[in-house]
């Protein structure tokens, strides 16, 4: 489907924007894997105390974003009556006319865009030297625990605490939600009303 292909291309441009922030970016495979662990580390720091996310583990749990709500640019555990991000994506998929076979990919692409937006936000506030160090951290070999430990130490080193992490998550999810609209509206689908009130 052409509309979904446009979204794939959009997500790829966000990945490329992240890579362009480093003089020596990680190889694509290392970047993809390291990005998952870094994103999970920041999400864990920001959201891990919420009961809805019990069982949230390093290197996993990105899909938990779909169970959250976004209102005025702030992510939260939804109370009764609040719309979940996953519900908004489902509504968008229905309006676009995505077949069942592509809805899962649409959700995965959205979560990937959250991941790249989060790393872009983190990178944006680091010095050039710390940015280069992050690039090296994402390339660390070894077990998943080894990589998770390295990411955790890096986050502590640059003082990305729970408060900062929450701000990064808010920015990343907001940008990812905002990014969906122009991609599909450029193909003739109206989605702006679905995100009314979600963005700051």
- Please calculate the CA angle 102-106-107 and round it to the nearest 5 degrees: 120
Answer yes or no: is 200 within a domain. Answer: no
Alpha helix segments (H runs only) across 66-194: 85-96, 100-124, 128-137, 144-157, 162-185
The most confident of the ranges 26-35, 45-54, 97-106, 142-151 is 97-106
How much is the pLDDT for 105? 92
Q: Is residue 36 very low, low, confident or very high in pLDDT (cuts 50, 70, 90)?
A: confident
Does residue 50 carry a pLDDT above 60? no
pLDDT in tens, 96-136: 998 888 989 999 999 999 999 999 999 988 999 999 999 99
Answer yes or no: is 175 within a domain. Answer: yes
Question: Mean pLDDT throughout 138-160?
Answer: 86
Answer yes or no: is 157 within a domain. Answer: yes
Does residue 86 carry a pLDDT above 80? yes
- 26-55 in b/e form (b: 16+ CB < 10 A) is beeebbebbbbbbbbbbbbbbbbeeeebee
d(CA 89, CA 145): 32
What is the helix (H) or strand (E) element at residue 71, kind and residue range? strand 69-71
Predicted TM-score (pTM) of the model is: 0.88
d(CA 161, CA 147): 19
Answer yes or no: is 83 within a domain. Answer: yes
Tally of domains within the chain: 1
Which tops the pLDDT comparison, 80 or 15? 15
Total residue count of the chain as it appears in this document: 200
Answer yes or no: is 115 within a domain. Answer: yes
Specify the residue for token string 């509309």.
Answer: 3
Find the range with the poorest average confidence among 50-54, 61-65, 100-104: 50-54
Q: Which domain does 81 fall in, by range?
A: 2-195
Among 189, 193, 187, 182, which residue's Cα sits nearest to residue 14? 182
């Amino acid at each position: 489907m052409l509309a979904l292909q446009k979204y794939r291309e959009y997500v790829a441009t966000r990945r490329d924007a992240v890579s362009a922030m480093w003089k020596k970016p990680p190889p694509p495979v290392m970047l993809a894997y390291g990005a998952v662990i870094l994103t999970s580390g920041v999400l864990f720091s920001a959201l891990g105390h919420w009961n809805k996310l019990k069982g949230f583990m390093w290197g996993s749990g990105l899909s938990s974003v779909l169970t959250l709500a976004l209102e005025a640019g702030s992510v939260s555990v939804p109370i009764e009556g609040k719309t979940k991000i996953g519900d908004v994506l489902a509504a968008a998929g229905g309006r676009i006319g995505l077949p069942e076979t592509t809805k899962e990919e649409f959700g995965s692409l959205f979560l990937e865009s959250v991941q790249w937006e989060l790393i872009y936000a983190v990178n944006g506030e680091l010095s050039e030297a710390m940015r280069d160090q992050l690039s090296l951290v994402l390339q660390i070999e070894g077990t998943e625990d080894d990589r998770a430990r390295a990411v955790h130490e890096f986050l502590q080193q640059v003082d990305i605490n729970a408060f900062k992490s929450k701000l990064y998550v808010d920015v990343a999810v907001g940008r990812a939600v905002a990014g969906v609209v122009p991609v599909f509206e450029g193909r003739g689908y109206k989605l702006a009303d679905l995100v009314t009130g979600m963005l700051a």
